[in-house]
Structure 1
């Protein structure tokens, strides 16, 4: 089941480009996925999808839902076949991953699905255990429902971590997307 993800992010900042490459041995993909707890910032862990089996380098994804499925989230760990990935959220490779994630999240055919999302802003979300994550805050509609999606990319133990949180656009919000992003990144980093 595909999960929608919402993010509240804006312009990345941090160390100079190229700084902060992850070092040291990284855990196995299975061990890293096992770091993600059953409860995370008000979300409950769901199924794991093994993308690696179909396409080496594409890793695994873990679904999360908030109470009553008011918000959904996903955490993907992957390396695209690289021995390590940049840790700096302003690194060109990290920003390219964010561009790809935003393109994938906004490439919804509106006339056939009634879904449309557009990027609103970029930011860096701080996370324990390493540099912040480069994020894009998206907004739009799924049918008649206004939706928010936070899409974030960062590094965790030598792999990319892509985190998305999607929920209805309500005040107060139905969940704290940035708290989920920070907690998920920290867990994937072993914190």
Structure 2
């Protein structure tokens, strides 16, 4: 089965074309080698390389899901089916939580999708007021609001993540390298 067969007809043809680039870009963002990604997915390094170069055009939904999970993204993100504002929703949610810990709240005039669905289910029609949705950061200490463009907010997130990555690399370069223990568990942050 081809990737094209896996995605709905409403998805643009760019999803198929962008798959290899999205995979390569995300692997680079995470700093993963083919071996690292192979360890995460159980797929061979050569198969992963052929996915990235576009040499393999056939991939099952199951393999897509495994690959997306190994890259910490959704299948839709991997295929390029999500738009700019929602493509990194999980990352943006984490970023907004981090800002909240620092005393800032991110707010917008954009009605949440869940609220839109609720209105639509009650028979209301929603119409665009023609005004662009705005986003702002509110400082909880003094309650001042600072308007930003979505692009600025995304750039801020990327800059903070890049700086955190820089600091992490600095810390691990000073740490001893060990053999990974045979038994290991991910840290459970829900407790």
Q: Name the TM tier (shorter chain).
A: under 0.3
Richer in strand (by share): 1
TM-score, normalised relative to structure 2: 0.28
TM-score, normalised relative to structure 1: 0.28
Richer in helix (by share): 2
Query: Which one has more relative contact order, counting CA pairs under 8 Å at least 6 apart?
Result: 1
Larger radius of gyration, structure 1 or 2?
2
